[in-house]
């Protein structure tokens, strides 16, 4: 896998329960020689949960990337024309962010970075983690699956009995998905069993 020297935006949104699967992939990108630009949503910045405190998550992201966090819309906007990314990743991507992105709402640093990347016709990779992807958010998922320059980390139902509308990306496939996206291809199969 060749991601060495690639400038990759890594946006995190508030699916706190998947951070333990996400942070190792952030480290893998660093180990593969990518230049990772960390971008965090307002929820990531301010929400303490049973999965950890916001400050601890922010520190961990900075420790891994050795970069300051992009934490506001004005800080994310230059990722368009002035400081372009080779690829933008949103991992994990909540249902809330999924619905906003599908409908062109730009109200967070992560979504601004994604919009800026699409403006440059560069790939945006989404690693979803949402309890309603097969529910009310299904139309938004379908809209993004059909969109140009948007790619998905392969996903599946994490608990079809207790959470029948939930889908979660296989985070371990993130680097491979980025590599495929940089070549203009969706990593297949996109639907994979959990």
- Look up residue 108 and give its two tokens: 């967070």
Listed residue (41, 44, 128, 115) closest to 84, CA to CA = 115
Which residue positions in the chain have pLDDT lower than 70?
16
List pLDDT tens digits, range 27-78.
999 999 999 999 999 888 777 777 778 788 889 999 999 999 999 999 999 9
- CATH code, residues 7-13+25-47+67-165: 3.40.50.1950
Q: Where are the domains of the chain?
A: 7-13+25-47+67-165
Task: Answer for the pair 18, 129: CB distance below 8 angstroms, yes or no.
Answer: yes
The pLDDT of residue 135 is 96
Residue 152 forms beta bridges with which residues? 126
The pLDDT of residue 18 is 84
- Look up residue 50 and give its two tokens: 């049973």
Q: Which residues contact 18 (CB under 8 A, 6 or more apart)?
A: 92, 129, 168, 171
- Look up residue 79 and give its two tokens: 């990722």
The pLDDT of residue 80 is 87
The pLDDT of residue 25 is 96
Give residue 25's region: left, alpha or beta (phi > 0; psi -120 to 50).
alpha
Separation of CA 50 from chain center? 21
């Amino acid at each position: 896998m060749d991601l060495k020297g690639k400038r990759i935006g890594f946006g995190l949104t508030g699916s706190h329960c998947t951070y333990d699967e996400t942070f190792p992939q952030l480290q893998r990108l660093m180990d593969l020689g990518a230049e990772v630009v960390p971008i965090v949503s307002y929820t990531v910045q301010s929400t303490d949960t049973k999965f950890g405190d916001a400050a601890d998550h922010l520190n961990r992201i900075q420790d891994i990337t050795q970069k300051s966090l992009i934490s506001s819309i004005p800080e994310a906007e230059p990722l368009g024309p002035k400081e372009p990314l080779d690829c933008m990743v949103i991992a994990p991507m909540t249902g809330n962010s999924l619905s906003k992105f599908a409908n062109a709402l730009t109200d967070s640093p992560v979504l601004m970075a994604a919009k800026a990347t699409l403006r440059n016709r560069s790939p945006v990779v989404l690693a979803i983690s949402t309890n309603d992807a097969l529910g009310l958010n299904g139309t938004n998922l379908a809209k993004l699956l059909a969109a140009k320059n948007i790619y998905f980390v392969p996903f599946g139902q994490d608990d079809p009995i207790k959470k029948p509308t939930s889908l979660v990306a296989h985070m371990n496939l993130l680097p491979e998905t980025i590599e495929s996206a940089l070549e203009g291809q969706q990593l297949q199969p996109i639907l994979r069993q959990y």
